[in-house]
Amino acid sequence: MGKKIAKKKILYLYSDTGGGHRASANAIIQAAEQLRGDQIEQEKIDVFCECSKFLNVFARLYGPVINYSPKMWGMLYYWLDDKRKLDQLEKIAGPLILPELTKMIKQKKPDVIVSVHPMVNHLTLKALAATKLDIPFLVVITDPVTLHRAWIAPQVDECIVATDEARKIALDYGMPADKIKVIGLPIHPKFLKKPALKKKKLFTILLMGGGEGMGKMGEIAVELERAKIKARLIVIAGRNKKLEKKLKLAAEEFTMPTEVYGFTDKVPEIMAESDIIITKAGPGTIAESLAMNLPLIITDWLPGQEEGNVEFVVRENVGRVSKDPLQVVEIVKEFMDKGTLAELKKNIRRVSRPKAALGIAREIFRFL
């Protein structure tokens, strides 16, 4: 009998500050599994949760802060976008996390480490130096257009970005040009499989606001109904149970055919049935919408990391932006024009990188 070949280990580092970083890790894991599942072992670790209970308390504040005080988050984001302040933060955080992180890397001995979170990169480099193990370390930047300085650690083996604009900023922040690869934002391979479409008579509008159901979704649904638009409405309220309940009650009185979902894993199927999407400017949702050829109406965004996404949607003419529900209705009417819709979809095909997760997986394999 032939000798059994040991599987190569890939370790992904993230922090559950919002679902985006975890979703990016999952997308790459699925793509790698699809390509070489029998040859690799994959594991993802929430670094703050596993290595520092104290710092994890602060990581868990991200959700409440962005929901209840986005302006405060924006101020903090820009205040920390400074090398000296980040160095000071690292000095404070280091002793609280490095012993456990170093121990974990020594125990797991992965063949390659991949980070999808800005706050763990410098710390991981220090932990790797302490282990004296020669393990390649890659960073996948999950802010597609504008990125925070915290992402940049010139000593990493490779830095993967989503756009040429992100590459330019990474260069400006000191990342060596030969270490930067433009591949795209990783989205789950299930967004590549377009289900067979049932013949539908009605133009279909998808309304969603990320996992938390943000962006005046209730008001937009009501205004679409008031406008007597000849369309079907699908709403995904995410984890926002209050919004889901409110919209389900309202939908009973609507003349517009309306379906309301809470948190669902059927997003690719629902997107495949839709003609346009009204949503917030989360990078994952934008990349998924573009992969599914859906023109966007952006109604909400986080100050800081999501502002560049809004500019990208407008600049590339793949959608429109408005926080005003009445204006959103007017944009929907504009999008229902066949010529406008065809132009938007043509632009989407030009900028979309739906197979980025597969490209990133192949890039990781080069280091195994």
At 196-230, the pLDDT tens digits run 555 667 999 999 986 555 668 999 999 999 999 99
Determine the pLDDT at residue 149.
Answer: 95
Q: Which two tokens stand for residue 222?
A: 């009501």
Are the beta carbons of 49 and 56 closer than 8 angstroms?
yes
Distances (CA, A) of 286 to 44, 91, 310, 335, 353: 24, 35, 10, 17, 11
Can you tell me the distance from the alpha carbon of 51 to that of 333, in angstroms, rounded to the nearest whole number? 51
Helix (H, G, I), strand (E, B) or coil at 14: strand
* Within-domain flag for 244: yes
Question: Does residue 180 sit in the same domain as residue 233?
Answer: no
* Within-domain flag for 142: yes
Question: Does residue 39 sit in the same domain as residue 163?
Answer: yes
Q: How confident is the model at residue 322 (pLDDT cuts 50, 70, 90)?
A: very high
Arithmetic mean of pLDDT, 346-359: 96
Domain count, the chain: 2
The mean-pLDDT minimum among 15-24, 43-52, 101-110, 170-179 falls in 15-24
pLDDT digits (tens, 9 = 90+) for 243-267: 899 999 999 999 999 999 998 989 9
Amino acid identity, position 163: T
Determine the pLDDT at residue 359.
Answer: 97
* Within-domain flag for 147: yes
Question: Does residue 12 sit in the same domain as residue 108?
Answer: yes
Question: Does residue 257 sit in the same domain as residue 344?
Answer: yes
Q: Which residue has the higher pLDDT, 1 or 178?
A: 178
Flag whether pLDDT at 64 surpasses 90.
no
Question: Does residue 134 sit in the same domain as residue 226?
Answer: no
* Within-domain flag for 179: yes
Are the beta carbons of 24 and 140 closer than 8 angstroms?
yes
Question: Does residue 219 sit in the same domain as residue 283?
Answer: yes
* Within-domain flag for 1: no
State the average pLDDT for the chain: 91
Question: Does residue 207 sit in the same domain as residue 220?
Answer: yes
* Within-domain flag for 2: no
pLDDT digits (tens, 9 = 90+) for 13-26: 998 766 578 899 99
* Within-domain flag for 359: yes
Question: Does residue 131 sit in the same domain as residue 76?
Answer: yes
Question: Does residue 18 sit in the same domain as residue 70?
Answer: yes
Domain carrying residue 91: 8-185+355-365
**What CATH number has the domain bearing residue 234?**
3.40.50.2000
Q: Count Cβ atoms below 10 Å from residue 55 Cβ, excluding itself.
A: 19
Flag whether pLDDT at 194 surpasses 70.
no
Determine the pLDDT at residue 45.
Answer: 94
Arithmetic mean of pLDDT, 146-172: 96
Determine the pLDDT at residue 305.
Answer: 84
Question: Does residue 51 sit in the same domain as residue 104?
Answer: yes
Q: How confident is the model at residue 231 (pLDDT cuts 50, 70, 90)?
A: very high
Determine the pLDDT at residue 239.
Answer: 81
Question: Does residue 179 sit in the same domain as residue 208?
Answer: no
Question: Does residue 150 sit in the same domain as residue 13?
Answer: yes
Q: Provide the whole-model pTM.
A: 0.90
* Within-domain flag for 3: no
Flag whether pLDDT at 9 surpasses 60.
yes
Residue percentage of the chain with pLDDT more than 90: 73
